[in-house]
Chains A and B, each alone.
Chain A
Amino acid sequence: MSTTEAPPANGRHSMGQPMKRKEDARFIAGKGRYIDDIVLPNMLYLAIVHSDYPHAKITKIDKDAALKIPGVLAVITADDLAGVGLAWIPTFHGYDKQMVLAVGKVLYQYQEVAAVVATSRAAAADGVEAVVVEYEQLTPVVDPFTAKTDKTLVREDRENKTNHIYHWEVGKRAETDAAIAASDVKINERVYFQRCHPAPLEPCGCVADMNPATGTLTLYMTSQAPHAHRTVVSLVTGIPEDKIHVISPDIGGGFGNKVPVYAGYVCSAVASIVTGHPIKWIETRTENLTTTGFARDYTMDVEIGATKDGKVTALKVTTHADHGAFDAAADPTKYPAGMFGICTGSYDFPVAFTELDAYFTNKAPGGVAYRCSFRVTEASYAIERGMDLLANALGMDPADVRMKNFVRKDQFPYPSPLGFVYDSGDYHTTLQKALDKVGYKELRKEQAEKRARGELMGIGISTFTEVVGAGPSKHFDIMGIKMFDSAEIRIHPTGSGIVRAGTKSQGQGHETTWAQIVAEELGLDPQNLLVEEGDTDTAPYGLGTYASRSTPVAGAALAMAARRVREKARNIAAHVMEAPLDDVEWVDYKFQVKGVPSKTVTMKEIAFAAYTNPGPNEPGLEATYYYDPPNLTFPYGAYIAVVDVDKDTGETKVRRFLAIDDCGTVINPMIVEGQIHGGLTEGFAIAFMQEIAYDAEGNNLQPNFTEYLIPTSLESPHWETDSTCNPSPHHPIGAKGVGESPNVGSPAAFVNAVMDALSPLGIKNIDMPLTRSKVWSAIQEATKA
């Protein structure tokens, strides 16, 4: 009774192996099943009428012409939704409500005003064109500073007649102010992290299918959080949760965009309930960019104090947040500004304070998406830009300033001044590895030579700390639902099995990595462990995949469920090997009788025994585990960008980019590297190309991919990656999560590099995106005197 499998290269069964992805087979063959691939009998189509104006009273909606179009069956407005109690729905954290279709007035350009139901996609589109909406324009409010004056009210429906949504603060204000005032050197700079959009290549969509016979509403939808959506649908409609079946099929990228609830989902569900037909709604790209979950839009005043030899004394960050027309940021309930308190970053500040005021404006709602753990990207940008501005003020090298102020390895677990307890890290070693690998000294030498010739070369560093894995139930919930996650494992008699989790992959490769985690714990073949997610009737309850929470939370649940299976298997092994339970050990991925290496039994053999010869044990081999994390995890990294800026055109060429990431234990290095490449490319896009800007009249200026730019292979730099590994001490397998790190850490590295290049001209800050024209204008301005 022994296994003949060859040991893998790293001595581990499957953990840490660059296993090729199991999900690829269908994707490379064109056999993925995305939302628009789902076609049901007698299906109807829904399309949406959008507002032309950013802020206007609706004086009339004329459906007549639309209803005369062959194939158009109905035009739904807010009045119709009011009839079923769905004109408004609660926002995710429950502190605000949002219109499904415009009620009385429109609050942002492209807002959903009416929905057309028709027998074909084309007829629905024709119907949209024929709906006539009359408006009376109002003054739009397009930034938080104008909003603050309350001259024009965005939300007359609210009890409090103000555009101010909330004030949030954490830390010690008086001590921080005093410490900064007393510092030898201080910086105070306003940086703006622009509004941008995750723009997954697959837009959002759904097929809502009410079965009139059973009363069951099946919702196929692009959902990063199917269970949460099921519960929300039940709470707002009153349909019992057992009669709601959410199925999230293959998702063509999410990046946080597919967390919120959108008008199209609600209108489709209502239309299906009323008509008894399945209803399909597929968003256009313009709808995606103009109405669904955007990201950032934080204006941050960053103040840092330091001694003259470069030791930081205090940090203060003051933020104006633009939330758009509804407070629909999908933040955990107790964290209105998400994880923004991570803004002390990787540095040991003796004292810190941050405060934030959020405002309504006539812009689309949303606010936490785009590969970001609830505002950690804004916070990281603030501190990493701040550290470079400080280095500049001190006349010190930015690497030296960071080394001087890092939290030391011996300080972990490190209680940060704004309330987090960092789990593990060794920032000095990781940055040193990056400096050595990139050839930092040589690059600085080259830069000095180039500067002497008047050429603009820059080197930018970002040594960020992330906070992910929401979250511990004592702090984290969404609408009261605790943010744990779950796993269920069933091992079949022949040693294969099915693994289900409350998460939902959108490209992250869970079908592979979840199998690797379970295979590692059980000594089974990951190829024969089927992973299934996204079906609320079969998967255990979980809060879904976003905010880099899958591996820290569900990954832990998987390992713990597998350990439950293993413990049960150990009992069966004792019976099979006729040994006392205390003498049965798990050694080298097999059960062995203590001290008798020849007496072993494999998990595969125990799986068969569980169904054929369990002895006194309960038959079967399954387990479920709900994991409530004891703490968040704190992945970190050291990134270095090297750029050349063309003085005459303002064009930046990213010559090199090195990312050293530390995400703790790595499950699949190939997948981790792929995640980092993707996140860096998104960070690059934000730094140089992307902004959802509105003009003074409230017009959205980037409503499609010809304006909102996505980098292609031509623009994207070649990425260099490497890692260090400081496992999380509180996670069952030591993993921290990685998906968002590259997007969190890289924007500051790019901007720091460009500002470093421009520093001989005295330019301190340009807000992203660093387009050619912006950089060129700044150079012109700086050199004209």
Chain B
Amino acid sequence: MKVSLKVNGADYERDVEPRVLLAYFLREDLGLTGTHVGCDTSSCGCCVVLMDGEKAVKSCTMFAVMADGHEITTIEGMKKDGKLHPMQQAFSDQHGLQCGYCTPGMMATAIAFLKHNPDPSEAEIRDALSGNMCRCTGYNNIVKAVQQAAAELSAPAAEPVAAS
């Protein structure tokens, strides 16, 4: 089947088997291996990507053909103008990752969440991330990372500073 979609800003048109999951389409057809697969039951959230900029979807629960006409953002597309997304920076700053396997999905979920709730409480963050598993960090630092990113994203845009 034909599928046309935009991924990380680029347009793609491909012929895929109907049964191919979006996760494997991204990983194997487009070579975007930052999206991971960790279970067979849509439980772990390692495969979460952004759909149409603001919706977090588990790319293992969607067939690639279901993404027809949509825009997908994976971890590889989160950097803007050569600068890390505040969520990426925050995960590193707050030691919100260890093995890194859950990290892309966790960040995608968190980014989508902050679009809907820019100033969340800790309980709201913990609730929002409950579809994403992490075996390494114990979540304390992931929560802190989301709080850091929330603060940065909701701060008024800084005045451009002349290079010194």
Q: A interface vs B, CB < 8 Å?
A: 20-21, 23-34, 36-37, 39, 121-122, 199-203, 250-253, 255, 284-286, 506-509, 670-671, 673-682, 704-706, 710, 712-714, 716, 718-719
* Nearest CB of B to A64, in Å: 24
Select which of A25, A29, A201, A673 is within 8 A of B99 by beta carbon.
A201
Sort chain B's interface into a size bin: 35 or more
A contact residues around B24 at 8 Å (CB)? 121
Q: A678-B138, A705-B133, A714-B127 are in contact. Are A507 and B37 (CB under 8 A)?
A: no
**Which A residue's beta carbon lies closest to that of B91?**
A28
* Nearest CB of B to A453, in Å: 26
Given contacts A28-B91, A28-B100, A704-B41, 9 further A-B contacts (CB under 8 A): A20-B93, A24-B92, A28-B75, A30-B74, A30-B104, A36-B27, A201-B134, A252-B100, A716-B139
Count, A-B residue pairs, CB within 8 A: 178
Q: A24-B91, A199-B135, A678-B137 are in contact. Are A506 and B99 (CB under 8 A)?
A: yes
Q: Is there contact, CB below 8 Å, between A21 and B134?
A: no
Query: Is residue B125 within 8 Å, beta carbon to beta carbon, of the partner chain?
Result: yes
Q: Is there contact, CB below 8 Å, between A21 and B44?
A: no
Q: A677-B137, A713-B139 are in contact. Are A28 and B40 (CB under 8 A)?
A: no
Considering the chains assembled together, what is the distance between the CA atoms of A250 and B100 in angstroms? Answer: 9
B contact residues around A121 at 8 Å (CB)? 24, 28
Q: Is there contact, CB below 8 Å, between A253 and B41?
A: no
B contact residues around A199 at 8 Å (CB)? 135
A-B pairs with beta carbons under 8 Å apart, 21 shown:
A25-B92, A27-B103, A30-B35, A32-B101, A36-B37, A200-B135, A201-B38, A201-B102, A201-B134, A202-B101, A252-B36, A252-B101, A285-B40, A285-B41, A507-B98, A507-B136, A509-B98, A679-B138, A681-B139, A713-B130, A713-B132
Select which of A284, A286, A508, A719 is within 8 A of B138 by beta carbon.
A719
Considering the chains assembled together, what is the distance between the CA atoms of A641 and B143 in angstroms? Answer: 21
* Nearest CB of B to A205, in Å: 11
Select which of A30, A508, A673, A710 is within 8 A of B76 by beta carbon.
A30
Q: Mark B82-100, 1 if CB is under 8 A from A, else 0.
A: 0010001101110101111
Considering the chains assembled together, what is the distance between the CA atoms of A37 and B34 in angstroms? Answer: 9
Query: Is residue B67 within 8 Å, beta carbon to beta carbon, of the partner chain?
Result: no
A contact residues around B138 at 8 Å (CB)? 674, 676-681, 716, 719
Query: Is residue B153 within 8 Å, beta carbon to beta carbon, of the partner chain?
Result: no
Q: Is there contact, CB below 8 Å, between A677 and B43?
A: no
Select which of A32, A682, A704, A710 is within 8 A of B100 by beta carbon.
A32
Query: Is residue B116 within 8 Å, beta carbon to beta carbon, of the partner chain?
Result: no
Q: A28-B103, A122-B19, A201-B46 are in contact. Are A253 and B84 (CB under 8 A)?
A: no
Residue in A29, A506, A676, A710 with the greatest tally of chain B CB atoms within 10 Å: A29
Query: Is residue B148 within 8 Å, beta carbon to beta carbon, of the partner chain?
Result: no
Q: B interface vs A, CB < 8 Å?
A: 17, 19-20, 24, 27-28, 32-41, 43-44, 46, 74-76, 78-79, 84, 88-89, 91-93, 95, 97-104, 107, 122, 125-127, 129-143
A contact residues around B93 at 8 Å (CB)? 20
Considering the chains assembled together, what is the distance between the CA atoms of A682 and B38 in angstroms? Answer: 17
Select which of B43, B102, B137, B142 is within 8 A of A706 by beta carbon.
B43
Residue in B34, B75, B135 with the greatest tally of chain A CB atoms within 10 Å: B135
**Which B residue's beta carbon lies closest to that of A38?**
B33
**Which A residue's beta carbon lies closest to that of B130?**
A714
* Nearest CB of A to B56, in Å: 14
Main secondary structure of the interface of B (DSSP, over half): loop
**Which B residue's beta carbon lies closest to that of A674?**
B95
Q: Is there contact, CB below 8 Å, between A34 and B101?
A: yes
Residue in A21, A673, A713, A719 with the greatest tally of chain B CB atoms within 10 Å: A713
Residue in A27, A28, A671 with the greatest tally of chain B CB atoms within 10 Å: A28
B contact residues around A670 at 8 Å (CB)? 95
* Nearest CB of A to B135, in Å: 5
Residue in B36, B46, B129, B131 with the greatest tally of chain A CB atoms within 10 Å: B36
Considering the chains assembled together, what is the distance between the CA atoms of A725 and B36 in angstroms? Answer: 39
B contact residues around A718 at 8 Å (CB)? 122, 140
Considering the chains assembled together, what is the distance between the CA atoms of A580 and B19 in angstroms? Answer: 75
* Nearest CB of A to B138, in Å: 3
Q: A30-B104, A34-B36, A713-B130 are in contact. Are A201 and B97 (CB under 8 A)?
A: no
Considering the chains assembled together, what is the distance between the CA atoms of A374 and B47 in angstroms? Answer: 33
Considering the chains assembled together, what is the distance between the CA atoms of A676 and B141 in angstroms? Answer: 12
Q: Is there contact, CB below 8 Å, between B136 and A678?
A: yes
Residue in B24, B40, B84, B129 with the greatest tally of chain A CB atoms within 10 Å: B40
Q: Is there contact, CB below 8 Å, between B99 and A705?
A: no
* Nearest CB of B to A26, in Å: 8
Q: Is there contact, CB below 8 Å, between B38 and A203?
A: yes
Considering the chains assembled together, what is the distance between the CA atoms of A253 and B102 in angstroms? Answer: 10
Q: Is there contact, CB below 8 Å, between B99 and A713?
A: no
Considering the chains assembled together, what is the distance between the CA atoms of A28 and B86 in angstroms? Answer: 11
A contact residues around B39 at 8 Å (CB)? 285, 704-705
A contact residues around B78 at 8 Å (CB)? 30
**Which A residue's beta carbon lies closest to that of B74?**
A30
Q: A202-B101, A253-B99, A712-B132 are in contact. Are A28 and B127 (CB under 8 A)?
A: no
